[in-house]
Structure 1
Amino acid sequence: MGAQMPDSYKELIKSNPDETEIRSFLVDGDQVSVTLRIPDTLRDAAKEEAALRGMSFSAFVRTCMIEELAKKGA
């Protein structure tokens, strides 16, 4: 049986994980709705970039967050 997944990101980082473990932790879990207040210019630029990459705005934001959080543990 594998090791039990920590309850929080903070606990995970304390366990000195590799990037794969961090990414697995970040994508595992239930979907929740989040409201962000950002400038319309930032939203529009992000929507355009997401379209250029062939993904939705939400997927682009999730990807950016995962990239940033995964490198914190490295």
Structure 2
Amino acid sequence: MGNGQFASVLSFSSAITRMRIHDNSDVLKIPELVYDYSDEYNCYDVWLMSDYIDDPQFYYGGPGRNPKCP
């Protein structure tokens, strides 16, 4: 994570794109229910973009080790 920028700065964030779920039918599917969650909000942030695009995308990043991040 420690890229130095939170996920709100898209040009500096890491990204997960074109996510697919592999189930027992051997068909790759776009996940139906996707949400973003960060349990250490002082350490990193995650942002989900799913409006106006076909595939959900996660952007994530954070400042890395700091006094507020255990």
TM-score normalised by structure 2 residue count: 0.29
Structure holding more helix per residue: 1
Structure holding more strand per residue: 2
TM-score normalised by structure 1 residue count: 0.28
